[in-house]
Amino acid sequence: MDVELARFNMIEQQIRPWEVLDAQVLDLLGAVRREDFVPAEQRALAFVDMQIPLRRGDEAIERGQVMLEPRVEARMLQDLQVAKNDKVLEIGTGSGFMAALLGHQAQRVLTLEIDEQLAQSARANLRNAGVQNVEVRAADGAHADFSAEGPFNVIILSGSVAHVPETMLELLNPAGGRLMAIVGDEPIMRATLVHHMGHGLVSSQPWDTLAPRLLNFPEPEHFQF
Protein backbone atom coordinates (compact mmCIF):
# COMPACT_ATOMS: atom_id res chain seq x y z
CA MET A 1 0.00 0.00 0.00
CA ASP A 2 1.22 3.49 -0.88
CA VAL A 3 0.69 5.04 2.55
CA GLU A 4 1.11 8.65 1.49
CA LEU A 5 -1.29 8.24 -1.42
CA ALA A 6 -3.82 6.61 0.92
CA ARG A 7 -3.43 9.49 3.38
CA PHE A 8 -3.89 12.03 0.56
CA ASN A 9 -7.01 10.24 -0.69
CA MET A 10 -8.42 10.10 2.86
CA ILE A 11 -8.12 13.87 3.15
CA GLU A 12 -9.33 14.72 -0.34
CA GLN A 13 -12.09 12.13 -0.77
CA GLN A 14 -13.43 11.71 2.77
CA ILE A 15 -12.55 14.71 4.88
CA ARG A 16 -12.83 17.71 2.54
CA PRO A 17 -16.26 16.62 1.22
CA TRP A 18 -17.45 16.63 4.84
CA GLU A 19 -16.89 20.39 4.93
CA VAL A 20 -13.57 20.18 6.77
CA LEU A 21 -11.72 23.04 5.12
CA ASP A 22 -9.64 24.45 7.99
CA ALA A 23 -6.07 24.48 6.66
CA GLN A 24 -4.53 23.81 10.07
CA VAL A 25 -6.72 20.74 10.62
CA LEU A 26 -6.00 19.39 7.14
CA ASP A 27 -2.26 19.92 7.57
CA LEU A 28 -2.39 18.14 10.93
CA LEU A 29 -4.17 15.13 9.43
CA GLY A 30 -1.48 14.98 6.79
CA ALA A 31 1.30 15.10 9.39
CA VAL A 32 0.11 12.86 12.25
CA ARG A 33 0.55 9.24 11.19
CA ARG A 34 -2.87 7.68 11.72
CA GLU A 35 -1.55 4.26 10.74
CA ASP A 36 0.68 4.24 13.82
CA PHE A 37 -2.38 4.41 16.08
CA VAL A 38 -4.18 1.50 14.43
CA PRO A 39 -3.74 -2.09 15.72
CA ALA A 40 -1.13 -3.88 13.61
CA GLU A 41 -3.66 -6.36 12.20
CA GLN A 42 -5.90 -3.45 11.09
CA ARG A 43 -3.16 -1.30 9.57
CA ALA A 44 -4.46 -1.75 6.01
CA LEU A 45 -7.73 -0.11 7.14
CA ALA A 46 -6.08 2.97 8.68
CA PHE A 47 -7.40 5.36 6.01
CA VAL A 48 -10.73 3.69 5.25
CA ASP A 49 -14.02 5.47 5.97
CA MET A 50 -15.06 3.15 8.82
CA GLN A 51 -14.88 2.61 12.56
CA ILE A 52 -11.84 0.46 13.28
CA PRO A 53 -12.07 -2.04 16.17
CA LEU A 54 -9.21 -1.71 18.62
CA ARG A 55 -9.47 -5.36 19.65
CA ARG A 56 -10.36 -8.60 17.91
CA GLY A 57 -13.93 -9.81 18.00
CA ASP A 58 -17.39 -8.27 18.23
CA GLU A 59 -16.88 -7.22 21.85
CA ALA A 60 -14.78 -4.24 20.77
CA ILE A 61 -17.74 -2.80 18.86
CA GLU A 62 -20.17 -3.54 21.70
CA ARG A 63 -17.93 -1.79 24.22
CA GLY A 64 -17.23 1.16 21.93
CA GLN A 65 -13.55 0.26 21.59
CA VAL A 66 -13.08 1.71 18.12
CA MET A 67 -11.39 4.51 16.25
CA LEU A 68 -14.03 6.78 14.79
CA GLU A 69 -14.08 7.48 11.06
CA PRO A 70 -11.41 9.98 9.92
CA ARG A 71 -14.06 12.43 8.67
CA VAL A 72 -15.83 12.40 12.05
CA GLU A 73 -12.62 13.02 13.99
CA ALA A 74 -11.66 15.80 11.58
CA ARG A 75 -15.03 17.55 11.77
CA MET A 76 -15.08 17.42 15.57
CA LEU A 77 -11.60 18.89 15.68
CA GLN A 78 -12.49 21.67 13.26
CA ASP A 79 -15.67 22.62 15.09
CA LEU A 80 -13.89 22.86 18.46
CA GLN A 81 -11.37 25.44 17.16
CA VAL A 82 -8.65 24.38 19.58
CA ALA A 83 -6.09 27.08 20.42
CA LYS A 84 -2.49 26.86 21.66
CA ASN A 85 -3.34 28.02 25.19
CA ASP A 86 -6.29 25.63 25.64
CA LYS A 87 -6.55 22.99 28.35
CA VAL A 88 -8.41 19.99 26.96
CA LEU A 89 -10.28 17.06 28.49
CA GLU A 90 -11.09 14.03 26.33
CA ILE A 91 -13.34 11.17 27.42
CA GLY A 92 -12.59 7.95 25.54
CA THR A 93 -8.90 7.80 24.57
CA GLY A 94 -9.10 4.65 22.47
CA SER A 95 -5.89 4.38 20.47
CA GLY A 96 -4.79 7.92 21.34
CA PHE A 97 -5.12 9.33 17.82
CA MET A 98 -7.57 12.10 18.66
CA ALA A 99 -5.49 12.94 21.73
CA ALA A 100 -2.44 13.27 19.46
CA LEU A 101 -4.30 15.67 17.16
CA LEU A 102 -5.48 17.69 20.16
CA GLY A 103 -1.98 17.69 21.63
CA HIS A 104 -0.59 19.36 18.52
CA GLN A 105 -3.13 22.16 18.84
CA ALA A 106 -3.53 22.66 22.61
CA GLN A 107 -1.33 23.50 25.58
CA ARG A 108 -2.28 20.40 27.58
CA VAL A 109 -4.55 17.40 27.09
CA LEU A 110 -5.93 15.09 29.76
CA THR A 111 -7.54 12.03 28.16
CA LEU A 112 -9.40 9.27 30.00
CA GLU A 113 -9.71 5.64 28.99
CA ILE A 114 -11.83 3.25 31.04
CA ASP A 115 -9.94 0.17 29.79
CA GLU A 116 -6.47 -0.16 31.35
CA GLN A 117 -5.04 -2.15 28.43
CA LEU A 118 -6.15 0.43 25.88
CA ALA A 119 -4.80 3.20 28.11
CA GLN A 120 -1.39 1.54 28.15
CA SER A 121 -1.45 1.11 24.38
CA ALA A 122 -2.44 4.75 23.86
CA ARG A 123 0.42 5.92 26.07
CA ALA A 124 2.85 3.92 23.96
CA ASN A 125 1.37 5.26 20.72
CA LEU A 126 1.63 8.85 21.90
CA ARG A 127 5.16 8.35 23.20
CA ASN A 128 6.26 6.82 19.89
CA ALA A 129 4.68 9.74 18.04
CA GLY A 130 6.63 12.23 20.17
CA VAL A 131 3.52 13.81 21.72
CA GLN A 132 4.57 15.00 25.17
CA ASN A 133 1.74 17.25 26.37
CA VAL A 134 -0.92 14.53 26.65
CA GLU A 135 -1.65 12.64 29.87
CA VAL A 136 -3.50 9.34 29.46
CA ARG A 137 -5.32 8.36 32.61
CA ALA A 138 -7.06 5.02 33.17
CA ALA A 139 -10.37 6.18 34.63
CA ASP A 140 -14.14 6.07 34.16
CA GLY A 141 -15.00 9.45 32.66
CA ALA A 142 -18.63 9.07 33.66
CA HIS A 143 -17.81 9.03 37.37
CA ALA A 144 -14.39 10.61 37.87
CA ASP A 145 -14.16 13.94 39.73
CA PHE A 146 -12.23 16.64 37.83
CA SER A 147 -13.46 19.67 39.73
CA ALA A 148 -9.97 20.29 41.11
CA GLU A 149 -8.42 20.15 37.60
CA GLY A 150 -10.92 22.29 35.73
CA PRO A 151 -12.08 24.41 34.23
CA PHE A 152 -11.29 23.17 30.73
CA ASN A 153 -11.34 25.27 27.58
CA VAL A 154 -12.27 22.24 25.48
CA ILE A 155 -14.05 18.99 26.36
CA ILE A 156 -14.56 16.27 23.78
CA LEU A 157 -16.45 13.02 24.19
CA SER A 158 -15.00 10.57 21.66
CA GLY A 159 -18.13 8.43 21.51
CA SER A 160 -21.87 8.88 21.92
CA VAL A 161 -24.07 9.65 24.93
CA ALA A 162 -27.83 9.83 25.39
CA HIS A 163 -27.59 13.48 26.38
CA VAL A 164 -24.88 16.03 27.20
CA PRO A 165 -23.74 15.26 30.77
CA GLU A 166 -24.29 18.12 33.24
CA THR A 167 -21.11 17.07 35.04
CA MET A 168 -19.12 17.88 31.90
CA LEU A 169 -20.81 21.22 31.34
CA GLU A 170 -19.88 22.23 34.88
CA LEU A 171 -16.21 21.76 33.96
CA LEU A 172 -16.29 24.21 31.04
CA ASN A 173 -14.42 27.48 31.29
CA PRO A 174 -17.11 30.21 31.42
CA ALA A 175 -14.94 32.37 29.18
CA GLY A 176 -15.61 30.61 25.90
CA GLY A 177 -15.30 26.93 26.83
CA ARG A 178 -16.48 24.45 24.19
CA LEU A 179 -17.81 20.91 24.50
CA MET A 180 -18.37 18.47 21.64
CA ALA A 181 -20.38 15.27 22.01
CA ILE A 182 -22.32 12.92 19.74
CA VAL A 183 -25.79 12.80 21.26
CA GLY A 184 -28.87 10.64 20.73
CA ASP A 185 -29.90 7.12 19.87
CA GLU A 186 -29.72 5.08 16.68
CA PRO A 187 -30.73 5.58 13.94
CA ILE A 188 -30.13 9.32 14.46
CA MET A 189 -27.38 10.92 16.51
CA ARG A 190 -26.28 14.53 16.27
CA ALA A 191 -22.93 16.17 16.86
CA THR A 192 -23.69 18.65 19.63
CA LEU A 193 -21.43 21.66 20.20
CA VAL A 194 -21.92 23.65 23.40
CA HIS A 195 -20.30 27.06 23.96
CA HIS A 196 -20.06 28.65 27.39
CA MET A 197 -20.58 32.34 26.69
CA GLY A 198 -20.14 33.58 30.26
CA HIS A 199 -23.80 34.55 30.59
CA GLY A 200 -24.95 31.05 29.67
CA LEU A 201 -24.63 28.04 27.39
CA VAL A 202 -25.36 28.10 23.66
CA SER A 203 -25.87 24.76 21.89
CA SER A 204 -25.92 23.81 18.22
CA GLN A 205 -26.17 20.51 16.33
CA PRO A 206 -24.32 21.12 13.06
CA TRP A 207 -24.25 17.58 11.62
CA ASP A 208 -25.41 13.99 12.06
CA THR A 209 -23.42 10.80 12.51
CA LEU A 210 -23.41 7.54 14.50
CA ALA A 211 -20.91 6.46 17.14
CA PRO A 212 -20.65 3.70 19.78
CA ARG A 213 -21.71 4.51 23.32
CA LEU A 214 -19.29 5.69 25.95
CA LEU A 215 -19.67 3.38 28.92
CA ASN A 216 -21.53 4.22 32.14
CA PHE A 217 -23.07 7.56 31.15
CA PRO A 218 -26.77 7.84 32.06
CA GLU A 219 -29.35 6.38 29.71
CA PRO A 220 -33.01 7.51 29.62
CA GLU A 221 -35.60 5.14 30.99
CA HIS A 222 -37.59 3.57 28.17
CA PHE A 223 -41.29 2.96 28.70
CA GLN A 224 -42.28 -0.68 28.72
CA PHE A 225 -45.77 -2.19 28.56
> Consecutive 10-residue runs of the chain (225 residues): their mean pLDDT?
96 98 98 97 95 83 87 98 98 98 98 97 98 97 90 97 96 97 96 93 97 93 58
CATH number at 81 reads: 3.40.50.150
E strand or H helix that includes residue 55: none
Residue 214 resides in a domain: no
Report the pLDDT value the prediction gives residue 220, as an integer from 0 to 100: 83
Report the pLDDT value the prediction gives residue 28, as an integer from 0 to 100: 98
Domain count for the chain, please give it: 1
Sign of the CA dihedral running 41, 43, 46, 48:
negative
Residue 215 resides in a domain: no
Residue 223 resides in a domain: no
Residue 66 resides in a domain: yes
Report the pLDDT value the prediction gives residue 224, as an integer from 0 to 100: 54
E strand or H helix that includes residue 91: strand 87-91
Collapsing DSSP states into helix, strand and coil, what is residue 108?
strand
Q: Give the domain range for residue 22.
A: 3-209
pTM: 0.95
Report the pLDDT value the prediction gives residue 63, as an integer from 0 to 100: 78
As to burial, measured by CB atoms within 10 angstroms (0-12 exposed, 13-18 middle, 19+ buried), residue 99 is buried
Residue 94 resides in a domain: yes
Residue 47 resides in a domain: yes
Residue 225 resides in a domain: no
For 42, half-sphere exposure in the C-beta direction (CA atoms, 13 angstrom radius) is 20
Residue 222 resides in a domain: no
- CA-based nearest residue to 93, from 77, 110, 111: 111
Inter-residue contact 90 to 158 (CB < 8 Å)? yes
Report the pLDDT value the prediction gives residue 222, as an integer from 0 to 100: 60
Report the pLDDT value the prediction gives residue 223, as an integer from 0 to 100: 52
Report the pLDDT value the prediction gives residue 71, as an integer from 0 to 100: 98
Report the pLDDT value the prediction gives residue 33, as an integer from 0 to 100: 98
